[in-house]
Structure 1
């Protein structure tokens, strides 16, 4: 039954007053609400005029309280974004915008602000046992350095970006290692493998729109399993010996080839010099013969004797013994020039300085002495008979 119907005792549901058909009193409603707040916050109940309340809300006007609450709400909405951060703003759980560094304001309880450091170098390590292209097993440990290139993708597109990075890294590493032989993975091919892993990993992350940028991939260690480590060490030593022998052979080749070229060039130069010498000497002999021929035509006898004396001088200057034969005799005269030179060391210089005329006189005297000895020997033989 309605409160204003007959028999309803005219009970007012707003203020509890009896009688009257007018609208409820707003002041009474506010007082009722204030009393309820006082009860909630531990205040005692006031008088009928509301002046007897002893709580904070009983002493502070409601309008001022609302202003204070609004001021607190306003100041709580301010926040600072550092230079190395980006702020992703969600409004009622939906992406609204991305803000850079500086002081910003967003309404609390309406917007959610998630700050992401986009400059800090992050690192993730992984290790495992993998199969190479030539069906060998290797143990590899890998580390990845990365940064966040897109804060929105990093926060919203993937539930767990770092877990996605881990799985993508293992997938890229297994694909690249499985495309290379064991020798390349364990030795000089490690840098190339790291570059290939970085390229493939970045492709995976871009396809997932994780907002992650891979800066560098490092293969920290790659080794065969412990069971075959000794055999692998032997293979490595054999390869090192092979490389050392190749280097030694190359060094020998680099040394012997220039030496051979130098020797060949020296022989060519010597041959050219000998050729020039022989040609020059022949030309000189020809010119000397032409001049001698002209002198011979002028005085044949003198020139002939001169040539004979020159020849005798050259022969005697280079010989250590002289044998002299005399016409008409059976005896031969022996002159040991070497013995004479040993007993008279300075005589060799005197012999070389003797003129052709003196040499001819000596020859004539020696020949005359030989004839006389021969005649004496003959006469003695006849008288004896």
Structure 2
């Protein structure tokens, strides 16, 4: 059963027919006219005929559009500045202020915001053939690292700060290379060229106040032209060999010189010690003889005998000793005491001992003999030892 058909009780279920009168669906134009009348009464307007109703509807539409436009304009003014950036605000094209990191609002179509990264380290490279002071051509590659420290100066001091820095770098590098010889540029003078280029570049960009600061200046490469590269490579290699040999010789000299000084000091100390030893020994001998003189004057014979015995003890302690039996004329038997002592010492240490060969009378002639009668038969004089 449709919604507009009468039910079983005979009643009409049509919602637009109330009180037996067909009302129909609401007219949107009528709704807007009524709303316009109400708003017109609020804002001081007068309700009138159909003409006033049409103008009231159009004014309401314009107000709605205006409200939406204002909302869109207000929402479009929000913007975000990152942590590493600074926002430069231009109001009607003129510098107004700078803002830091965070969320900000600006009036659209009035203010313009340009974010500038002030923490990023940027780099640019200068490369090209340059003429040295000695009229040689070299290809030099330089790299400059820089950072923005003033956003306003970076944007408005010059037209393009990056391009100006590139041109200033090229000018400074050509000036320094033009006042340097080729050997310094290619080999040992690179550090000097790098430092001079940085000083010259800073002196060029400082008057312009571009808001840039140099972080580092790197000397990347310096090469001669391709036609003469092999010859220059040989020359550079020869210079490197020369420097290496000089450094090796210097290191060798530094190693030998302290050693020689130490040897000289050791020899001098040994000589001084030997000198003191000899002097002290001589002084001791003089003192001993001075002490012996009164004893000799008191008992000359006893003193001579004692001195003789001490001398023989010193002599026999440093020579081989042999006992010979002189009664047997056919076969002389002797005892090599020194070898026997050595064999006994070796036996106590567990070493193998070689037995002594037997000797006859012919072998005795080769050994020194000290007969016991030698002391008795030696003449004694008044000045004997």
Fold agreement, TM-score > 0.5: yes
TM-score (norm. length: structure 2): 0.64
Residue matched to 1:98: 98
CA distance in 2, matches of 1:75, 1:235: 70
RMSD after superposition: 3.9
Residue matched to 1:268: 268
- Aligned counterpart in structure 2 of residue 49 of structure 1, from 48, 51, 58: 51
1:86-136 Cα offsets, whole Å, 9 max, x none, are 222222222222222223232222222222222223222221111223332
Residue matched to 2:296: 296
Contact 1:341 1:347 in 2 (8 A): no
Contact 1:341 1:348 in 2 (8 A): no
SS of structure 2 residue aligned to 1:180? coil
Q: Compared with structure 1, are the counterparts of its residues 186 and 58 closer, same or farther at alpha carbon in structure 2 (3 Å cutoff)?
A: same
Residue matched to 1:256: 256
Comparing 342-351 and 154-163, the one that deviates more: 342-351
Contact 1:144 1:217 in 2 (8 A): yes
1:284-329 Cα offsets, whole Å, 9 max, x none, are 3223323432233223355456667877888899999xxxxxxxxx
Residue matched to 1:187: 187
Q: Compared with structure 1, are the counterparts of its residues 172 and 62 closer, same or farther at alpha carbon in structure 2 (3 Å cutoff)?
A: same
Tell me by how many angstroms 1:65 deviates: 3.2
Alignment of 1:1-385 (within 5 A): 49=51, 58=58, 60-304=60-304, 344-346=335-337, 359-361=374-376, 363=378
Contact 1:143 1:218 in 2 (8 A): yes
CA distance in 1, matches of 2:309, 2:117: 115
SS of structure 1 residue aligned to 2:107? coil
CA distance in 2, matches of 1:216, 1:289: 87
SS of structure 1 residue aligned to 2:336? coil
Give structure 1 stretches of 5+ with no counterpart: 1-46, 321-339, 365-385
Q: Compared with structure 1, are the counterparts of its residues 180 and 221 closer, same or farther at alpha carbon in structure 2 (3 Å cutoff)?
A: same
1:46-99 Cα offsets, whole Å, 9 max, x none, are x9626579xxx7484433333333333222222222222222222222222222
- Of structures 1 and 2, the larger Rg is shown by 1
Tell me by how many angstroms 1:259 deviates: 2.6
Tell me by how many angstroms 1:167 deviates: 0.9
Contact 2:187 2:236 in 1 (8 A): no
CA distance in 1, matches of 2:149, 2:317: 103
1:145-182 Cα offsets, whole Å, 9 max, x none, are 22222222222232222221221110111112223222
Comparing 309-318 and 60-69, the one that deviates more: 309-318
